[in-house]
Structure 1
Amino acid sequence: MRDYIKKDPWNIIEESFDPALNRISESIFSIGNGKMGQRANFEEKYSGSTLRGSYVAGVYYPDKTRVGWWKNGYPEYFAKVLNATNWIGIHVNVDGEELDLATANVTNFKRVLNMQEGILQRSFVATLSSGKQIEVQSTRFISIVDTDNAVIRYSVKALNFSGKLRFTPLLDLNVVNQDSNYDEQFWTEISRNAAQGTASITGETKKTAFHVACAFKLGMEYDGDDALYTIAPFSQDKLVGNTVNLTIVENQTVSLIKYVAVISSLYADKANIQGVAEASVAAAYAKGFAAMLTEQRAAWAKKWAECDITIEGDVAAQQAIRFNILQMNQTYTGEDERLNIGPKGFTGEKYGGVTYWDTEAYCLPFYLKTADPKVARQLLVYRYKHLGRAIENAAKLGFKHGAALYPMVTINGEECHNEWEITFEEIHRNGAMSFAIYNYINHTGDVGYLAEYGLEVLIAISRFWRQRVQWSDRRNGYIMLGVTGPNEYENNVNNNWYTNLLAQWTLNYTRESLAQVKVNDPQRYAEIVAKTQLGAHEDEETIWADVAAKIVLPIDEATGVFIQHDGFMDKELLPMTAIPKGEYPIHKHWSWDRILRSCYIKQADVLQGIYNFEANYDKATLKKNFDFYEPLTVHESSLSPCIHSILASSLGYEDLAYKFYLRTARLDLDDYNHDTDDGLHITSMAGTWMSVVEGFGGVRVQQGVLHLNPSLPKQWQGYSFRITFRGALLKVAVKANAIIIENESDQKLSMQVAGVEQHLAARQTLNLAR
């Protein structure tokens, strides 16, 4: 754990420069707008340790799979979102000396991510080897209004000299990915152009042939007497820019404003994409820095008005939750159904920037409760559009008749994960897809989604589960062999409770959905039956009912604990406190064989299933399972602490709930797992939000009714959160002795608060005693 970020409710602040922490800070101070993102790399040259990262949503490369022994069904590639053109570069030269924070004496360094406005600022004083001192201030943001544009205002003040200053703003396509196979470069140059005050360049990805065009246009500002400057363009292979030479006098400040446009071929015709980028940046230049900044602030203010969480009396917790909310909103906006959420978002290369089941299991609840329903709907439509590929994925593994297996990892619907115990066995991801459909409809009331998209997906997934189980005479039930549950520290197990539970639930929910659509939309029902050939090869609904009724869900008869999988109770069940402290994390100290034979759980597994279907279990059942599995869980997945925090809140385990909340909330800010340097844990951040709203706030939606049952951590004086539900925007404030619910919309609402029905009219406020 590191603790160098200053605690502040609205800002992420770093107050000194430590090169050893630079790559961590590059992740933490990342910015984005859903279409592109940028690590907090320096504008000027930097010869120290850095991970360059400029990312464009939806643009990827299929990196060839490298395995020692090829297995049937293996994906041929691992997709990765690519490091694209470096658009932030502004090199600085003072009287022939290059500014480089790795070699200069750096003082008064300060880096601030203003979360309220989505703006990154940096300032420092650099003393060069000659003794000349300059003060630098930079302001950078990626616009959430003009989503193709970004802007940098880079200011240099001469502190103890008068002399020559040179800026070199550039666009650099000569970029690499840190984790590329065979040290391969993924971009070829298509065209470039440089003129006085402007430049542009277009690259094409190898194999996938995406085009990305970048352009900049320059503005100059200076105080005091007119600065004498000249601007000259330059152009060379994969690099374009301008050289700005000027004379600066002591105590004078000169600012270069670099307006940028980034356009991908997802949004522009390749034949004219560079022209589109040039026109876009010209429009940004015409609008001006001040106007763009004003619009940025207003747009973020609107976002925060819908999703902010306030915490009184705990600055560390307050800062952390806003940081998580900021990054979620910088990563995904729901504007484009072709886009999804990578576990690292736009902040690093790990996991390739591709989509996992994390989206449905963790991110969807955040967007369901903090944004217009169309945002969450787009996440589901993304999966519907990939249904054909999911059927192809299943067919490669031998499944028939339109059975679908959604990929563990994808960017285009095709499976591209190449670890066998995950690619072939971690099939519980199918259950996350079906549960997401239910979750969306339960929250929004959009029952039309079933007929329009959802039912086809449910049928295909149910066909997979029906074919994946087999009958066991010995168990007198259906069993599922050779799977890996959410707990990836146990592979190739039989009858994983969580996986079997989701299979059972999906089969039942699909049958219910068929009946619902048949009544509500008989014409569409007939179309779906014909399209899917439902019942053509067997009496599917009857068989699905039989499988759901007879699937094995292991339970320990003596204790009533749900058994994680067959054989788990045969292990030596020692609590994680028995692990020597020097052997954490175990995945870095133990052999894989030892981990697999141990009882230790990487992330919530049985408890994940109870979380999904908590309404189906009484508190006694929840308690006995939580008390059994929590001491065995090492939380070496970032997705684990939030589930434990939510369930601990439900059980009244206040200290544990708060402990797990802080762990997930400050996971990246404090670099808990020593892995923030390769990017933030974006999908885990959604879990942090869940820990507050679903955990401490006790928010649930049961049979379309909103329930709240808030608790107040003793470390907090109070807290509030905003959620959207079926057209209503609610602000919920929890105090020591009161719950205050304000309806900030024109939609009336009935709900359950601490088990009591309450009616909330439009623009009304409820004051309830706790």
Structure 2
Amino acid sequence: MKQYLKFDEWSIIEEGFDPENHEVSESIFSIGNGHMGQRANFEEDYTGKSLQGSYMAGVYYPDKTRVGWWKNGYPEYFAKVLNSTNWIGLKLEIDGENLDLAKVPVREFVRTLNMKEGFLERSFIASLPGGKEVQINAKRFVSIVDKEIGAIRYSITPVNFDGELKVTSYLDADVKNKDANYDEKFWDEVTKEVTTNTASVTVITKKTEYVLCSTMKTELVHDGLKVAFSPEVSEKEKYVAHTFAHSLVKGKETVIYKFAANVTSRDHEASTLSTVAMDRLQGALAKGFEKMLVEQAEAWGEKWKESDIVIEGDVSAQQGIRFNIFQLNQTYTGEDDRLNIGPKGFTGEKYGGSTYWDTEAYCLPFYLSTADPKISRNLLVYRYKHLQKAIENAEKLGFTDGAALYPMVTMNGEESHNEWEITFEEIHRNGAIAYGIYNYVNYTGDKSYLGEYGLDVLVGISRFWAQRVNYVPAKDQYMMLGVTGPNEYENNVNNNWYTNRIASWTLEYTLSAMDYLKDTDKARYDELQSKLTFTDEETSKWVDIIEKMYYPYDEELGVFLQQDGFLDKELIAVKDLDSKHLPLNQKWSWDRILRSCFIKQADVLQGIYFLNDEFDMETKKKNFDFYEPMTVHESSLSPCVHSILACELGYKDKAYEMYLRTARLDLDNYNNDTEDGCHTTSMAGTWMSVVQGFGGLKVRNDQLILNPFIPGEWNSFSFKVVFRDALLNIKVTADTISITNETAATTPVIIHGTKYTVNGNDTLSVQY
């Protein structure tokens, strides 16, 4: 854990430049708009340690996986999110000296991510040879109004000299990924064009043949007046540039404006990209930087109206939650059901594929409560569209008759994870997708989804579970052998409790969905029965599995066992482990980790969180008290689940500790791994910790339930939720909960067991 960022309610602020923090800052200060994203690389040259990253949503490369013959069914490739054209580049030479912050002293360095208005700003004074000082201010954003546009305002003011400035503004598509094998490059040039007015480069990915066209225009303003110039043009492979000179005057500001359009063949015909990019660029130029910046602030204002969380009395906690919400809104807009939420969003290339089970388990609740239901619906439709691929994935492993195994990592529905214990064994991911359907229907009340898309997916997943279990006649029970649960610090175990339970629960929910559809829309039910060919014999088998599923349990301890052999381990609490051993994944061998009792993330407790209403408080308490002390929380997905359960159990200190850990996971670099990107999907867990944890929000029987309590460190907190037709602003203090209905829809709520009604455009206040 390293805390070097200044606390602020609406901004992330870095004061002073330390190259050791730079890659972490590049992740944290990233910007995005759902269509593209940009790490916080410097516009000017920087020869120090850096991870250059510009990303286009949905653009990837299928890197070939090489494995032994025995791994039948192993993925053919590992997906890589590609570093794309560097559109921000500005090479600056002042009196012949290159501006490079790795080589020149800087002072008064401040880097600010303005989350309220959606832009990145950086300022510093650089000391050049001969005692010359130059003041720099750089501001940029990727527009959420004009999604294919990025814009930069780069200001240069000589502090104590007159001099000559030479600028090279360029587009560089000759890039590579940090994780590329043998420095392999994934882009080929299609065409490039450079005139004295604009420049563009068009490239295509190898294998997948995604085409990206980037077009730029650079403008110059000196002392408030626009300066005409005729640049020198240059080009080389996958690179185009404009170079021009300008006289700097002491104390006078010179501003470089750079606009770039990035358009891809995912959204337009490849043959039209050059025309489309120029059209988008001209639209941005017509508006100008300042107008676009105002529009950016207004658009972000609308996002914050529905998704903001306000914490009074704790700036650290306030900054953490807003940072997480900001990154989520930068990453996914829900406008394109071909897209999903990558674990690193637009902040880094680690983890390759765009979709994990993180989406359904952690991200879906955020979008359910903070956006139009169509946004979260599109996350589910994404999986529906990949159903045939999920069936093919299962077939590769020997499953039949429409059984579906959704991938652990995917871009297009195919499995693209390259670790066998994950690919073959971490099958609990299937259950999270089924749970996502339940969560959506339960929260929105949109049961029509079951007939339109949901039942197809549920049947496919249920068929997988029915074939994956192992019936043991001697015990007359079904078991699940050779699996990896959410705790990836155990591999190839038998009867992981969570996997067994989520499998059985999926069968239960699928049968209830069938019954609902049969009762409410018999014609659609009959249509699906004919299409999916499920029979009474098949569903009877599911009932038998439900009734006879084996769940490892210890009577003496009163806890569900994480797996059959868990109590054979030496049980040690993390607090009794010398801190020099942590984090385990960076200090211990894999063999040692697998033999230990230590837990990477919520496993049994993940099931208790999902299926909360199935368990009484004593059961929840015993399992939490047993497993949390052995949990090292070395997955970013871990602290939020523990925080939510700790809230329910009244463990206020633990709830707050786990909240801060998830809220500031990247800001304070808890796990020493933020340099390769932020943990975007776990950021939704931060929101869950506040709303479901401290707010106690649940939906049961179509009613909103709130059981709030406030951490002692806070004066109050408030959050907004979209529920059915209402937008509710919920504020909690030490003794009062008030709910302001910002819509006309009357909404019933249950607060600490008592039913109330919140009238339209009214406020309900309750003492508790």
Q: What TM bracket, shorter-length normalisation?
A: over 0.9
In the alignment, residue 752 of structure 2 is paired with which amino acid? A
Q: 1:767 aligns with which of 741, 761, 765?
A: 765
C-alpha offsets along residues 130-179 of structure 1, whole Å, 9 cap, x if unaligned? 32221111110010111111100011011111121112111001101000
Q: For 1:431, give the aligned amino acid.
A: G
Partner Cα separation in structure 2 for residue 274 and residue 228 of structure 1: 25
Contact 2:353 2:416 survives alignment (8 Å): no
Partner of 1:756: 754
Residues 616-655 of structure 1 correspond to what in structure 2 (within 5 A)? 616-655=614-653
Counterpart for residue 542 of structure 2: 544
Contact kept, 8 Å, 1:9 with 1:315, in 2: the verdict is yes
Give the alignment's Cα RMSD to 1 decimal. Answer: 1.2
8 Å CA contact retained: 1:32, 1:346: yes
Q: What is the number of residues matched between the two proteins?
A: 768
Query: Which stretches in structure 2 are left out of the alignment for 5+ residues?
Result: none
CA distance in 2, matches of 1:381, 1:88: 35
Question: More displaced, 152-161 or 654-663?
Answer: 152-161
Q: Hey, what's the Cα distance between the residues in 1 that align with 2:136 and 2:559?
A: 61
Q: Say which SS state the counterpart of residue 22 (structure 1) adopts.
A: helix
Q: Per-residue displacement from partner, 1:103-148 (whole Å, max 9, x unpaired)?
A: 1111111100000011100011111123222111111001011111
- CA offsets, 1:199-231, max 9 Å, x none? 111110000000011111222222178867442
TM-score normalised to structure 2 length: 0.99
AA at the equivalent of 2:732: V
Q: 1:339 to 1:631 in 2, by over 3 A?
A: same
Amino acid at match of 1:465: W
Cα displacement string for residues 288-308 of structure 1 (whole angstroms, at most 9, x for unaligned residues): 112111110100001001010
One-letter amino acid of the structure 2 residue matched with residue 97 of structure 1: E
Are the equivalent residues in 1 in contact too, given 2:697–2:706 (CA < 8 A)? Answer: yes
AA aligned opposite 2:735: N
CA contact (8 A) 1:399 1:467 kept: yes
AA paired with 2:93?
Answer: N
Runs of 4+ more than 3 Å apart:
66-70, 224-230
The residue aligned with 1:415 is 415
Kept in 2, the 8 Å contact 1:346–1:353? The answer is: no
Which SS does the other structure have where 2:642 is aligned? helix
User: What is the distance in 2 between the residues matched to 1:423 and 1:20?
Assistant: 35
In structure 2, the CA distance between the partners of 1:646 and 1:225, relative to structure 1 (3 Å rule), is closer
> Given residue 586 of structure 1, which amino acid in structure 2 is its aligned partner?
L
| Deviation of the 1:464 alpha carbon | 0.4
Please name the residue that 2:667 is paired with: 669
Distance 1:596 1:164, change over 3 A: same
For residues 505-546 of structure 1, give each alpha carbon's deviation from its aligned partner in whole angstroms, at most 9, with x where no partner exists: 1101111111111222222212211111112xx711111111
Matched-pair contact (CA < 8 Å) for 2:358–2:681: yes
Name the counterpart of 2:657: 659
| Matching residue of 1:297 | 297
Tell me the residue number matched to 2:30.
30
Q: Which residue of 2 aligns with 1:171?
A: 171
Q: Secondary structure at the match of 1:213?
A: strand
**Structure 2 Cα separation of the partners of residues 321 and 591 of structure 1:** 34
Task: Determine the C-alpha separation between the residues in 1 that align with 2:193 and 2:255.
Answer: 24
Offset at residue 736 of structure 1 (A): 1.5
Matches of 1:662 and 1:140, distance apart in 2: 29
What residue in structure 1 maps to residue 255 of structure 2?
255
Following the alignment from structure 1 to structure 2, what is the Cα–Cα distance between the partners of residues 221 and 66?
A: 54
Partner of 2:482, secondary structure, is: coil
* Distance apart, 1:549 and its partner CA: 0.9
CA distance in structure 2 between the partners assigned to 1:592 and 1:22 by the alignment: 30
SS at match of 1:544: helix
Shift of 1:193: 0.9
Contact 2:353–2:409 under 8 Å retained in 1: no
1:232-271, aligned counterparts within 5 Å? Answer: 232-271=232-271
Deviation at 1:260, TM superposition (A): 1.1
Checking the alignment, whether the CA contact within 8 Å between 1:227 and 1:248 is kept in structure 2 is: no
Q: Matched residue of 1:352: which SS?
A: coil
| C-alpha separation in 2, matches of 1:265 and 1:644 | 43
CA–CA separation in structure 1 for the residues paired with 2:279 and 2:70? 48
Tell me the TM-score normalised to structure 1 length: 0.98
Show the counterpart of 2:354: 354
Q: Residues 644 and 224 (structure 1 numbering): CA distance in 2 closer, same or farther, change over 3 Å?
A: closer
> Is 1:611 paired with 2:604?
no
Structure 2: which amino acid aligns with 1:612? F
Classify 1:212/1:226 alpha carbon distance in 2 versus 1 (closer, same or farther; 3 Å).
closer
Which residue, 728, 735, 738 being the options, matches 1:737?
735
CA distance in 2, matches of 1:228, 1:178: 39
For the structure 1 residues 91 and 521, does the alpha-carbon distance in structure 2 shift closer, same or farther, using more than 3 Å as the test? Answer: same
Could you tell me which amino acid in structure 1 is paired with residue 215 of structure 2? Answer: A
SS at match of 1:442: helix
The separation in 1 between residues aligned to 2:224 and 2:332, in whole angstroms, is: 43
- Deviation track 1:337-379 (CA, whole Å, cap 9, x = no partner) reads 0000110000001101421100110000111111110110010
**CA positional deviation for 1:68:** 5.9
**8 A Cα contact 1:224 1:252, kept in partner:** no
Query: Which whole-Å CA distance do the structure 2 matches of 1:125 and 1:231 have between them?
Result: 27
1:698 aligned residue: 696
Is this contact kept in 2: 1:700–1:707, CA < 8 A?
Answer: yes
Q: Distance in 1 between matches of 2:181 and 2:324?
A: 32
Question: CA 1:241–1:674 in 2, change beyond 3 Å: closer, same or farther?
Answer: same
Task: Report matched runs for 1:184-583 at 5 Å.
Answer: 184-223=184-223, 229-535=229-535, 539-583=537-581
CA distance in 2, matches of 1:357, 1:438: 15
Asked whether the equivalents of residues 197 and 233 of structure 1 are also in contact (C-alpha less than 8 Å), the reply is no
Query: SS state of the match for residue 218, structure 2?
Result: strand
Structure 1 residues without counterparts, runs of 5 or longer: none
Aligned pairs for 1:69-218 within 5 A = 71-218=71-218
Corresponding position of 1:684: 682
Please list the CA deviations of residues 411-466 of structure 1 after superposition, one character each: whole Å capped at 9, or x if unmatched: 10000112111100000000001000000000101110000000000001000000
Compared CA separation, residues 611 and 225, structure 1 to 2 (3 A)? closer
Paired residue type of 2:115: M
SS at match of 2:744: coil
The aligned amino acid for 1:178 is K
Following superposition, the deviation at residue 69 of structure 1 comes to: 6.5
Looking at structure 2, the residues matched to 147 and 153 of structure 1 have their Cα atoms a distance apart, in angstroms, of 18
Deviations 1:183-205 (A, max 9, x none): 21000010111112311111100
Say whether the 8 Å CA contact 1:341–1:353 is kept in structure 2.
no
Aligned CA distance change for structure 1 residues 329 and 109 (closer, same or farther; 3 Å): same
SS at 1:175 equivalent: coil
Q: Per the alignment, do residues 468 and 353 of structure 1 end up closer, same or farther by CA in structure 2, a change over 3 Å counting? A: closer
Question: Which segment is superposed worse, 570-579 or 449-458?
Answer: 570-579
Hey, what does 1:600 align to over in structure 2? 598
CA offsets, 1:79-100, max 9 Å, x none?
Answer: 1110000000011111111110
For 2:187 and 2:172, the matched residues in 1 are separated by: 11
Q: Which piece of structure 1 moves more, 225-234 or 346-355?
A: 225-234
Identical columns (%): 58
Aligned equivalent of 2:712: 714
Letter in 2 for 1:118: G
- Separation in 1 of the partners of 2:86 and 2:591? 43
SS class of match (1:539): helix
Counterpart-to-counterpart distance in 2, 1:629 and 1:755? 29
Q: Does the CA contact (< 8 Å) of 2:353 and 2:410 recur in 1?
A: no
Indicate the SS of the match to 1:413. coil
Per-residue deviation at 1:714? 0.2
Q: Distance in 1 between matches of 2:312 and 2:286?
A: 43
Once the two structures are TM-superposed, the CA of residue 599 in structure 1 deviates from its matched residue by 1.1
CA contact (8 A) 2:196 2:230 kept: no
Residues 226/36 of structure 1: CA separation in 2 closer, same or farther (3 Å cut): closer
Q: Secondary structure at the match of 2:129?
A: coil
